[in-house]
Amino acid sequence: MATAGKVIKCRAAVAWEPNAPLMMEEIEVAPPQEGEIRIKVVATGVCHTDLYHLFEGKDKRGFPTVLGHEGAGVVESVGPGVTDFKPGDKVIPLFLSQCGECKFCKCPKTNMCDCSCNYHDIMSDPTTRFTCRGQPILQFMGTSTFSEYTVINQIAVAKIVDDAPLDRVCLLGCGIATGYGAAVNTAGVTPGSVCAVFGLGAVGLAAVMGCKNAGASHIFAVDINEQIFEKAKIFGATDFLNPKAYNKPISEVLSEMTSGGVDFSLECVGNTEVMRTALESCIKGWGVSVLVGWTDVKDFSAKPIQLISGKTWKGSLFGGFKSKDSVPNLVCDYMTGKIKLDEFITHKMSLEQVNDAINLMKTGDCIRCILNISK
């Protein structure tokens, strides 16, 4: 491509500081270096983790940055040493890498790759490929999909089939893979089991879909926003509970309705009280509760008897999927109808409307908004 090896000037939404609207800017995107890939971003979802960094992060560390980690695009050029990707390949950036070399990648029990820019705001070398107004701009989660172009290490990019619709499969870069995998991988939901999913945003709805595909017989959908229950039905929820509608803890309600508690519960809110409730809602002896919701500012607590009685409390990052291996398969699962994606999309906007999309995410009306970045 004519742009290979050159700096690309393009549009991006820059988060200059916490708690402020993103600014549309022209940024410079440097060519990819050893092992890196420059990607033309076609579409991206907006996820609550983007909002979390913008509004609830602990300090000004991690700014200025370009947010966005649920994108899909096309390879524009590759750096030296990249052999598995070529210009024109369709790809999904991964906030969780899979280097294939570290002890975690080599272990089938986990997806916690040790070797990448996981949770760092910059490329792994460690510099950023973005500048704006003469200043380096960080790359949030190593992905930065709120930009027309981004540069990512090849260990954090998944190559997908050529006919995949990028404005939908982008959702597999975070929320949907996360919730779905939390049910099928981390919880290990079994056929005929009784499940409860707390929080029915995109992540929770995907967890419901995972419970359903794993053969659960009952799936309790728990949310304080009852408007979402109709949607949850589409993904396979069978029973619906609003904790605010009861004058006793919802764990007690669930325990009574299920003769002692559910086999599997998944917390998809990011609230430590709900995490505790989800654990308490499990049946003693074998109940498994999975933390999916994100918070790093609060500790959680629970009575030790909850675990002594034989329950298991687990957490799940990116649904336990080894990212590079699994995302291409999930794309195929969507193409063959095994998993739904279209039903999560409630809004579509342009990159310029990103602040509207962020505001919309704060209301209960939006499950996922797709930003069309470029054609």
CB of 241 to Zn ion, least distance (A): 26
Distance CA 356, CA 363 (A): 11
CB of 196 to Zn ion, least distance (A): 22
Residue 185's binding partner among Zn ion, ligand NAD, none (Cβ under 5 to 8 angstroms by kind) is none
Q: What is the size of the binding site for ligand NAD (CB under 6 A)? A: 32
Tokens of 114: 């040790």
In terms of Cβ atoms closer than 10 Å to its own Cβ (0-12, 13-18, 19+), residue 230 is: exposed
Per CB under 6 A, 57 contacts ligand NAD: no
Residue 231's binding partner among ligand NAD, Zn ion, none (Cβ under 5 to 8 angstroms by kind) is none
Contact residue for ligand NAD among 8, 82, 157, 203 (CB under 6 A): 203
Of 11-50, binders to Zn ion (CB under 5 A) are 47, 49
CB of 302 to Zn ion, least distance (A): 26
Find out whether 367 and 346 touch, Cβ atoms under 8 Å.
yes
Distance CA 282, CA 267 (A): 12
Which residue, among 146, 98, 238, has the nearest Cα to 229 in the 3D structure? 238
Cα 316 versus chain centre, distance: 11
How many CA within 13 A on the CB side of residue 319?
Answer: 29
Find out whether 351 and 46 touch, Cβ atoms under 8 Å.
no
Per CB under 6 A, 225 contacts ligand NAD: yes
Per CB under 6 A, 52 contacts ligand NAD: yes
CB of 232 to ligand NAD, least distance (A): 10
Contact characters 239-278, ligand NAD, x per CB under 6 A: ----x------------------------xxxx--x----
Q: With contacts defined by CB under 6 A, name the span among 107-115, 149-157, 292-300, 322-330 that binds ligand NAD.
A: 292-300
| Binding region for ligand NAD (CB under 6 A) | 47-49, 52, 174-175, 178, 198-204, 222-225, 228, 243, 268-271, 274, 292-294, 316-318, 364
